[in-house]
Amino acid sequence: MTRKEFAVIGDPISQSLSPAIHRAAYDFLKVDWGYRAIQVVEGALQVSLSQAAEYSGFSVTMPLKYEAASLCKFGDEASMVTGVVNTLLVSNEALIGFNTDVFGIIQALSNIEKPDSIAVLGSGATSVSAIYACQIAYPNADIKVLARNAQRAGELEHRFGISSGVIPSDTLNFDLVINTVPGQRYSAAGTILLASYARDEALAVNEISGKEMLLWQALAQIRIFYLGSAETQLPNEDQLFQQMRLAISDL
């Protein structure tokens, strides 16, 4: 394959593990592709993309996921439903948007016991993806969005037909909690997925690292960059995924 350039964009961006993950995958696939981290502040995405014509695609992180969706001419089902885009593919100078966070959340939770009650903490773009992922994976579960911003939580309540409230100070009594609030940890009776990862984080026995979500959503991104589809598996994908995991095992 010819040389291609990709990047992860957002603000802040220096802590991102995406370059290590993607470079490991590209080495495994034996493609001459570059991948770097670029800081892009909120409100500057369109201008930044217009100055990056050499790039074939982007991983999009906070706070640009809504902004990215607004710039796309086409999108996959998950991005259309959520209005959230974390993957941009440049095709014939048009932007195609994808939301691979939904896939990443579903896969990160694939080994847990099916929950009857779910709390999604936070009201940003990742929480929207988490709500939609839970509605797909656990259609019979009782889902509640809890946020510090009661108004925003209420908006998500009406949008997705779920209940809402504010985050309580005591233990969260739910089978599954998806915490999308950066830098905040909460106590829960059931499983907790930490959607915001931290380097060298120490996990409680009931916590799942956000690195799991990160790895799985990155796998779908690499499928898109390599094959144009998030659903088609890559060559020797199990071994490729292990190389991706090893790339961040000490980070």
Selecting among 4, 30, 65, 144, the annotated active-site residue is 65
**Torsion sign across C-alpha atoms 248, 102, 82, 7:** positive
Is residue 177 within 8 A of residue 192, CB to CB? The reply is yes
Bridge-partner residues for 120, per DSSP? 145, 178
Residue 223 CB partners (closer than 8 Å, separation 6+): 229, 230, 231, 232, 233, 234
144 is catalytic: no
The DSSP bridge pattern shows strands 94-98 and 87-91 to be: antiparallel
Closest CA to 70 of 93, 43, 92, 48: 43
Catalytic residues: 65
